[in-house]
Amino acid sequence: MGKVYLVGAGPGDPDLISVKGLKCIQQADVILYDRLVNEELLSHAKQDADLIFCGKLPDCHFMQQETINAHLVKLAKEGKTVTRLKGGDPFVFGRGAEEAETLADNNIPFEIIPGITSGIAAPAYAGIPVTHRDAGASFAIITGHRREGQEEDTKWESLAKGIDTLAIYMGVGNLPYICGKLLQHGKSEQTPVALVEWGTTVSQRTVTGTLGTIVTIAQKEEVQNPSMIVVGEVVRYRDKIQWFEQQTSKNYYASGAL
């Protein structure tokens, strides 16, 4: 019997993977990796390792989740060391729990290797702390969409009135609905909002506004997935402590690219 490692690859910057996660890549016989995994990490794999892409696009799954689950079981039963490499953290909107359940049901040995999730990392790279003594004593991570056909159960009133900072994943397509719900339940139109596109990568771009303006701004700027939506007063700190995009821009000019 082999073993499966469910590994969080982090939010995009390949240097943000954990030491243990990197070891799992280096030792794997087979790596099944997602769309948002930085492929630079695959350069650390063994020369004879099998690399299997099983990424998903919105409304287009290259490999169905049930097929991925079946592959993990099959490969482990063949005696392989399998690394399931997932963007961010396996247990934060990454379906890692579903895969772990399948492995447990089939008596397959496995380990969970946490990763840095984009709900914390993307704001940090944009100069936005998700907590701050003066502006953010609580934060919540929220999915911006639900499984098709599933009843909407996000507690918008509690989120609007009881949480200081909201980090919303996979929500750009539903941005008008999200902003509308927060406004409907008492959030001020002046509440700062940031959209961090391709967070922690060289393509990172941050667009800011308020709950009352961000939908129009996002449409004008043509913000696309993957993007993290950050709602709360902590967004104001970006004006003072943004660092990554400025650093990337300086390196770009210094390289002679322009």
The set of catalytic residues is: 34, 56, 170
Find out whether 27 and 85 touch, Cβ atoms under 8 Å: no
Strand partners, 84: 6, 32
Query: pLDDT tens per residue, the chain (258 residues)?
Result: 999 999 999 999 999 999 999 999 999 999 999 999 999 999 999 999 999 999 766 555 578 999 999 999 999 999 999 999 999 999 999 999 999 999 999 999 999 999 999 999 999 999 999 999 999 999 999 998 755 544 465 689 999 999 999 999 999 999 999 999 999 999 999 999 999 999 999 999 999 999 999 999 999 999 999 999 999 999 999 999 999 987 875 553 343 333
Listed in order, strand segments (DSSP E) in the chain are 3-8, 30-33, 50-53, 56-57, 60-61, 81-86, 110-113, 139-143, 165-169, 192-197, 205-210, 227-231
Q: Tell the residue number behind the tokens 């667009």, with chain if given.
A: 207
